[in-house]
Amino acid sequence: MTKRILIIDDEPSVRDAFELALTGTGYRVECAVDGVAGVEAASRFCPDLVFLDLKMPGIDGVETLRRLAHQHQPLPPVYFVTAFAREFVELLQRARTEKLAFQLATKPLTVEQIRQIALVAIGAPE
């Protein structure tokens, strides 16, 4: 079965970069423009891996993670991809105390880094 990756980011250029990096690799990729759309997409798409922006309008990445965790048991691997980790240290620490599992990756990521994260997190596409 094809492994699925969900990208949740409010910046079109970031979504496009991730989608381009993963296109042709064998993974099935879906994108969402914000946290609410990401949670909705995850409910029908059932991702094996989520790349999640931390700083978004509406609900931020941490709240999106909470909603994903409530919706999916077990929660697929989640990578926060952000340039703003320092701004969210307190929220991230709180998320850890809530036993929400995630990894951090700093923007910008290269194509090879994106592909490597996917390979390590969920294995080869098929």
The confidence score (pLDDT) of residue 93 equals 94
Q: Which CATH superfamily is domain 4-121 in?
A: Response regulator (3.40.50.2300)
Q: Alpha carbon of 44 to those of 41, 89, 110: distances in Å?
A: 6, 31, 29
pLDDT in tens, 106-121: 999 999 999 999 999 9
Question: What is the pTM assigned to this prediction?
Answer: 0.95
Predicted pLDDT at 100: 94
Whole-number mean pLDDT of the chain?
94
Q: Where are the domains of the chain?
A: 4-121
pLDDT at 23: 87
DSSP lists the bridge partners of residue 103 as 79
pLDDT value, residue 112: 97
pLDDT of the residue at 68: 97
Whether residue 47 has a cis bond before it, omega within 30° of 0? no
**Given this model, what pLDDT does residue 30 score?**
97
